């Protein structure tokens, strides 16, 4: 499991990497969505559903293009999702 500090580092790194995304092969809207999610800056401001949508986009990009950037971002996003679901990211009862 990762710590809150590590989760923050993953968010900053993913936000940095998202600046390199261009609209091909993913759509401009998908690229902007990814940037907007990580522009929030804190794990407690990002919903699990947003992380899952980002992961789906990145996975498709990785599978279709074999992009190393997409792969790395997918892994980071999946780690953040796990943190939200099973770790320190449980903000509300019932999550």
Instruction: Name the nearest CA neighbour of 34 among 50, 12, 10.
Output: 50
**pTM over 0.95, yes/no:** no
Counting the structural domains of the chain, the total is: 1
50 found inside a domain? yes
27 found inside a domain? yes
What secondary structure, in 3-state letters, does 20-31 show?
CCCCCCCCHHHH
* Structural domain boundaries enclosing 14: 4-86
Q: What is the DSSP letter of 42?
A: S
Instruction: Name the nearest CA neighbour of 42 among 73, 9, 85, 65.
Output: 9
pLDDT tens-digit profile of 23-60? 677 899 999 999 999 999 999 999 999 999 999 999 99
58 found inside a domain? yes
Taking CA atoms, 69 is separated from 16, 43, 87, in Å, by 11, 21, 26
95 found inside a domain? no
94 found inside a domain? no
pLDDT confidence tier of residue 94, bands split at 50, 70 and 90: very low
Q: What is the mean pLDDT of residues 57-84?
A: 94
92 found inside a domain? no
What secondary structure, in 3-state letters, does 63-94 show?
HHHCCHHHHHHHHHHHHHHHHHHHCCCCCCCC
66 found inside a domain? yes
61 found inside a domain? yes
């Amino acid at each position: 499991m990762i710590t809150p500090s590590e989760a923050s580092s993953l968010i900053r790194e993913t936000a940095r990497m998202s600046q390199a995304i261009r609209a091909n092969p993913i759509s401009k809207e998908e690229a902007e969505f990814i940037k907007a999610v990580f522009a929030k800056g804190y794990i407690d401001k990002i919903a699990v559903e947003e992380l899952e949508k980002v992961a789906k986009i990145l996975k498709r990009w990785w599978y279709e293009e074999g992009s190393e950037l997409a792969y790395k971002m997918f892994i980071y996003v999946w780690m953040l999702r796990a943190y939200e679901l099973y770790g320190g990211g449980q903000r509300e009862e019932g999550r």
